[in-house]
Structure 1
Amino acid sequence: MDVNVRPDIDAAAAKLNSAFGSKREIQRLPEVLWEGETVEMLATGVYGKGNGLVAMTSQRLIFLKHGIMSQQVEDFPYSRISSVQWSGGMLMGTLIVFASNNKAEIKQVPKDQGKILADALRARLAGSVPGAPAPAVAPAAPAPAGGDIASRLATLDQLRAAGAITDEEYRDRRTKILDSL
């Protein structure tokens, strides 16, 4: 799908099987993004009273419905999301987001998009849940072998690619790993 909005949005929109009913939302998405926020993944679905767009960004999960007469934006910062559930049917499914004592059900999400989105959200939450051990941090004991450093850097690259850590966390952890040489 060719939308020419912004490179990050265009890349995410290109992965949609169908953007039917959500082209207006894709065009309007930059208006609701925060400064420096990038779009990582998109999906379509029904939330509340209408069909719209689910956007997984670098900072939060957003549901956007942009109608002719009104606009609905619901956002879920990752720090407030406690868990995510995916329930898939034959073609469509429901993404359930539990955040700050709320339960948001986004229905009619295409099965393939929903499963990928739910998995990516879980990976993101696993890296940011307070009290959970943060993967790929420098161990208490210094790493003696160079191969260990390489594997730690590779793991760190995978975490960043999966969106489990931010670019800032990536740089900090990479510096710590390299400083341990």
Structure 2
Amino acid sequence: MGKNIDEERLEEIHQQMIDAGVSDLFGTKKEVRHLPEFMDADEKLLYATSGFVDKGTVLAVITDKRLIFINHGMIYGADFREIPFEKINGVSYSTGLVLAKIAIDNGANTTMIEQVSKKTAPEFVEVLKSAVATSKESKSSEPVITLSVADELIKYKQLLDAGVLTQEEFDSQKAKLLAE
């Protein structure tokens, strides 16, 4: 019969982890196996690491949509928590002798991920900051690239000079731009 969807999705997520250079998943193999249950079909894993949140080992996953924490208990089911990118105000990390801590501030409170590998903490923070910035840019109502009136006029003048626009069309476009 072949593989079920979850197995295929899990392989896809494993490949995304390899592509992202994920290296520290200490104590979170069960959580990784359950990722297809928590991620949308079109959601892409950008980075992941393991750490401690509220005295439990978690898999912290950055996707292209949100930050996810999964703790799959030994006896009981999974503990799942997410922080949407628009709620994240700040991200930082500090390193100790052996391990690091990551702080994620969402205004109301700060989530601490402790006992993170010193190697993965800086990478995790950079990927998260980048994902949050990208998310905020794509949600802003302003287009990212805006041309000034002068840029537009130059473009229309070049089209006029190249014979693409007539003088009347150029004058009409110029009048529209100057009226804005």
**One fold, TM greater than 0.5?**
yes
1 CA distance for matches of 2:145 and 2:14? 31
1:49-73 CA-partner distances (Å, limit 9, x unpaired)? 3112110001100111111223211
Assess if the C-alpha contact under 8 Å between 1:9 and 1:39 holds in 2. no
**In structure 2, how many angstroms separate the alpha carbons of the residues matched to 1:140 and 1:69?**
61
* 8 Å CA contact 2:91, 2:102 repeated in 1: yes
Contact 2:24 2:120 in 1 (8 A): no
| Partner Cα distance (2:40, 2:135) in 1 | 20
For 2:25, what is the secondary structure of its paired residue?
A: coil
- Cα-to-partner distance string for 1:149-176 (whole Å, 9 max, x where unaligned): xxxxxxxxxxxxxxxxxxxxxxxxxxxx
Residues 100 and 121 in structure 2, CA contact (< 8 A), matched pair in contact too: yes
**Aligned partner of 1:11 among 1, 12, 16:** 16
Q: Are 1:114 and 2:121 counterparts?
A: yes
**1:171 paired residue number:** none
2-structure distance, mates of 1:13, 1:20: 15
Range that drifts further, 86-95 or 39-48: 86-95
Output the CA distance in 2 between the equivalents of 1:53 and 1:122: 18
C-alpha distance 12-48 of structure 1, shift in aligned 2 (>3 A): same
TM value normalised by structure 2: 0.67
Matched residue, 1:85 = 92
| Structure 1 unaligned spans of 5+ | 146-181
Amino acid at match of 2:145: V
Cα drift, residue 46 of structure 1: 0.5
Q: Which amino acid aligns with 1:26?
A: V
Q: Provide the C-alpha distance between the structure 1 equivalents of 2:117 and 2:135, rounded to a whole number of angstroms.
A: 27
Q: Which runs of 5+ in 2 are unaligned?
A: 1-6, 156-180
Percent identical among aligned pairs is 23
How many residues of Structure 1 are paired with residues of Structure 2 in the alignment?
143
- Alignment RMSD (CA, Å): 2.9
Tell me, yes or no, if structure 1 residue 21 matches structure 2 residue 34.
no
User: 2 CA distance for matches of 1:99 and 1:9?
Assistant: 29
Superposition deviation, residue 136 in structure 1: 5.2
- Is residue 48–residue 59 contact of structure 2 (8 Å, CA) maintained in 1? yes
TM superposition shift of 1:128: 4.1
